[in-house]
Structure 1
Amino acid sequence: MATFDRAELDEMITRWVDANKRAEAEGDWKPLADMYTEDATYGWNYGPTDEFMAVGREEIRDLALGQEMDGLEGWQYPYQQFVVDERSGDVIGFWKQVADRTRENGEHYSVHGIGGSWFRYGGNFQWSWQRDFFDFGNVSHLFLEMITANALSDGMQKRIERSTGKTRLPGWYRVGESPVPLW
């Protein structure tokens, strides 16, 4: 197994966090795709029956960072901590999901529980692999709370309508049927 220079991994994390902050400020996550190798994969599980997988930099740009982030403009995903293994190039970043909308008491809607991304470093300041994980129950609860409180942006409302339509969106598969295994 290859080993990686810890200073290089730390620099990658710094570049990644800075690029994420720019994406949040601009409401456009697509430029993050340039931080993946050409053949990178990016996926996550979404409950007991569904998972998402983007294969290759352009699918990551169009699907994971485009289609799946559309409607989340104004949301922030501040990283809380990173765990790094320079022997394998694995990096785990823990983040929060914070909506731009607020409750009557002024508190931002935010997903409780743990969210994170497990990355594999591919060299040249690019990720070769990413798998997200989050508390599905808490995400579902927050979305239901926001729907009930009429706190969804128009973009978020459209995102939910797209996701709940009869046609499966590109990149979405039944568990175990994606073109690249989730694990």
Structure 2
Amino acid sequence: MTGNTFTRDELAEAFAGFEKTVDRAAQTRDWDPWVDQYTDDILYIEHAAGTMRGRDEVRPWIWKTMESFPGSYMTSFPSLWSVIDEATARIICELDNPMRDPGDGTIISATNISILTYAGDGKWKRQEDIYNPLRFVSATVKWCRKAEELGTLPDEAAQWMAKFSPGGRGAL
């Protein structure tokens, strides 16, 4: 239990605000409003990146992650489904992470489960992202191969492939 009682409507409204903020951040590439929807002492658990405590740790991480490849090629983060757990003030959802069109209309993405704990006043006090990092690597490799095939592979993606995909062609 959280010690706070929030109605289902309040939790749903807060999550709608979260989704709107995340969508706006993805469109504008300004990640500060995304971070600003967390409490100052946010506990953010990101299984590949580690545990961050406070906005001062989350802010540089989200900027670095989303402004470098492959994050910089992710166009939106819509929820595919969500569950409201009133007893714990949590929203559990599956977020999609589609990458930009490599040049032929192909949509390549990977998903993660996020668990958000509400603090009240439109703020979130905890987020945990759960996913298999290899699925994100596999999707990114697939995107790079498609872009390479189409002649649209940018230098930063080619550099990523050279670093994370053996021989630049990948073992995935």
> Residue 107 and residue 132 in structure 1: after superposition, are their counterparts in 2 closer, same or farther (change >3 A)?
same
Q: Kindly tell me: are residues 89 and 154 of structure 1, through their superposed partners in 2, closer, same or farther at Cα, counting changes over 3 Å?
A: farther
Q: 2:118 aligns with which of 121, 126, 130?
A: 121
RMSD: 2.4
- Gap regions ≥5 residues in structure 2: 165-172
One-letter amino acid matched to 1:95: L
Q: How much identity, in percent, do the aligned residues show?
A: 24
Of Structure 1 and Structure 2, which has the larger fraction of its residues in helix?
A: 2
2:52 aligned residue: 54
TM-score (normalised: structure 2)? 0.77
Deviations 1:54-88 (A, max 9, x none): 2101211121x211212233522111111111111
**Post-superposition offset of 1:116:** 2.1
Q: Structure 2 vs 1, CA of residues 107 and 85 (structure 1 numbering), >3 Å: closer, same or farther?
A: same
Tell me how many residue pairs correspond in the alignment. Answer: 154
C-alpha deviation, 1:155, in angstroms: 5.3
Helix, strand or coil at the partner of 1:39: strand
Aligned residue type for 1:94: E
> Which residue type is aligned with residue 86 of structure 2?
E
Checking the alignment, whether the CA contact within 8 Å between 2:144 and 2:157 is kept in structure 1 is no
Paired AA for residue 120 in structure 2? G
1:148 is aligned to 145
Task: Name the CA distance, whole Å, in 1 between partners of 2:81 and 2:121.
Answer: 23
Name the structure 2 match of 1:66.
63
1:41 corresponding residue in structure 2: 43
Partner of 1:27: 29
In structure 1, list runs of 5 or more residues that go unmatched. 165-183
| Residue type of the alignment partner of 2:138 | H
Return 4-13 or 132-141, whichever deviates more: 132-141
CA apart distance, 1:44: 1.7
TM-score by length of 1: 0.73
User: How far, CA to CA, are the matches of 1:66 and 1:7 in structure 2?
Assistant: 31
Task: Determine the C-alpha separation between the residues in 2 that align with 1:54 and 1:152.
Answer: 33
After TM superposition, the structure 1 = structure 2 runs for residues 82-121 of structure 1, keeping only pairs within 5 Å, are: 82-102=82-102, 104=104, 106-111=105-110, 114-121=111-118
Q: Which of structures 1 and 2 has the larger relative contact order (alpha carbons within 8 angstroms, sep 6+)?
A: 1
Larger radius of gyration: 2
Structure 1 position 135 matched with structure 2 position 132: yes
Alpha-carbon shift at residue 33 of structure 1 (Å): 1.0
User: 1:80 is matched by which residue type in structure 2?
Assistant: L
